[in-house]
Amino acid sequence: MKILANDGVSQSGIAALEKEGFEVLTTTVAQEQLVNFINENNIVGLLVRSATKVRADIIDNCPSLKLIGRGGVGMDNIDVAYAKEKGLHVINTPAASSESVAELVFAHLFGGVRFLHDANRNMPLDGDSKFKELKKAYAKGVELRGKTLGVVGFGRIGQATAKIALGVGMKVVYSDPYIAEASVNVPFFDGQAVSFNFKSISKEDVLNQADFVTVHVPAQKEYVIGKAEFNLMKDGAGIVNAARGGVIDEVALIAALENGKLSFAALDVFESEPNPEIKILMHPNISLTPHIGAATGEAQDRIGLELATQIVALLK
Maximum pairwise Cα distance, the chain: 67
Provide the minimum distance between the beta carbon of 148 and ligand NAD in the complex, in angstroms, as a whole number: 17
Q: Which of 6, 10, 93, 97 binds ligand NAD (CB under 6 A)?
A: 97
Identified catalytic residue from 244, 250, 302, 306: 244
Residue at 218: amino acid letter:
P
In angstroms and rounded to an integer, the radius of gyration of the C-alpha atoms of the chain is: 22
- Would you call 117 a catalytic residue per the annotation? no
Tell which residue, 98, 82, 93, 121, has the closest CA to residue 286. 121
Alpha helices in 197-277 (DSSP H): 203-209, 227-232, 250-258
**Quick one: which segment of 124-132, 142-150, 213-221, 301-309 binds ligand NAD (CB under 6 A)?**
213-221
How far is Cα 287 from Cα 115, in angstroms, rounded to an integer?
9
Question: Would strands 286-288 and 89-92 be described as parallel, antiparallel, or unpaired?
Answer: unpaired
Provide the minimum distance between the beta carbon of 197 and ligand NAD in the complex, in angstroms, as a whole number: 16
Q: Which residues pair with 287 in a beta bridge?
A: 266
How far is Cα 277 from Cα 257, in angstroms, rounded to an integer?
15
Q: Which of 4, 68, 90, 157 binds ligand NAD (CB under 6 A)?
A: 157
Pair 312, 52: CB distance under 8 Å:
no
* Residues in contact with ligand NAD, shown as a per-residue x/- string from 60 to 79 under the rule CB under 6 A: ------------xxx-----
Helices (H) and strands (E) counted in the chain, each on its own, are 13, 13
Provide the minimum distance between the beta carbon of 61 and ligand NAD in the complex, in angstroms, as a whole number: 28
Q: Which of 224, 239, 256, 305 binds ligand NAD (CB under 6 A)?
A: 224
* Residues in contact with ligand NAD, shown as a per-residue x/- string from 272 to 301 under the rule CB under 6 A: -------------------x-xx-------
Pair 48, 78: CB distance under 8 Å:
yes
How far is Cα 251 from Cα 253, in angstroms, rounded to an integer?
5
- Would you call 273 a catalytic residue per the annotation? yes
Nearer to ligand NAD, 130 or 227 (CB): 227
Nearer to ligand NAD, 17 or 73 (CB): 73
Determine if 153 is a binding residue for ligand NAD (CB under 6 A). yes
How far is Cα 287 from Cα 108, in angstroms, rounded to an integer?
7
Provide the minimum distance between the beta carbon of 276 and ligand NAD in the complex, in angstroms, as a whole number: 14
Q: Which of 147, 163, 244, 283 binds ligand NAD (CB under 6 A)?
A: 244
Site for ligand NAD in 22-61 (CB under 6 A): none
Identified catalytic residue from 23, 103, 273, 277: 273
Q: Which residues pair with 47 in a beta bridge?
A: 5, 69
Q: Which of 22, 106, 115, 154 binds ligand NAD (CB under 6 A)?
A: 154
List Cβ neighbours of 74 (8 Å cut-off, separation of 6 or more). 50, 218, 219, 244
Q: Give residues in contact with ligand NAD (CB under 6 A).
A: 72-74, 94, 97-98, 101, 152-158, 175-179, 216-219, 224, 242-244, 268-269, 291, 293-294
Q: Which residues are catalytic?
A: 244, 273, 291
